[in-house]
């Protein structure tokens, strides 16, 4: 006798993750970023760096 195929209940859709980019800074570069964030009065160095990278990208590519 042939076995009956199991009916799949369907796979649950995974939550969409945003696209990610990892940037690795050397020690000296990270110190420069920290110093710039400190001078700008930023509380979060990572968010400061992200904003700076996005700003530079927009300047190069042109926004929109």
Express each pLDDT in 15-64 by its tens digit. 888 899 899 999 999 999 999 999 999 999 999 999 999 999 899 888 66
Q: Is 0.85 topped by the overall pTM?
A: no
**pLDDT band at residue 14, thresholds of 50, 70 and 90?**
confident
Q: Is residue 13 part of a domain?
A: no
Residue 35 CA to residue 52 CA, distance in Å, equals: 13
Q: Is residue 5 part of a domain?
A: no
Number of domains in the chain: 1
- Residue 48, domain extent: 27-61
Tokens of 4: 């009956």
pLDDT score of 11: 72
């Amino acid at each position: 006798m042939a076995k009956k195929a199991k009916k799949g209940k369907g796979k649950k859709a995974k939550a969409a993750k945003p696209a990610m980019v990892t940037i690795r800074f050397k020690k000296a570069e990270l110190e420069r970023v920290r110093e710039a964030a400190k001078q700008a009065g930023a509380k979060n160095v990572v968010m400061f760096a992200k904003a700076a990278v996005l700003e530079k990208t927009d300047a190069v590519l042109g926004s929109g």
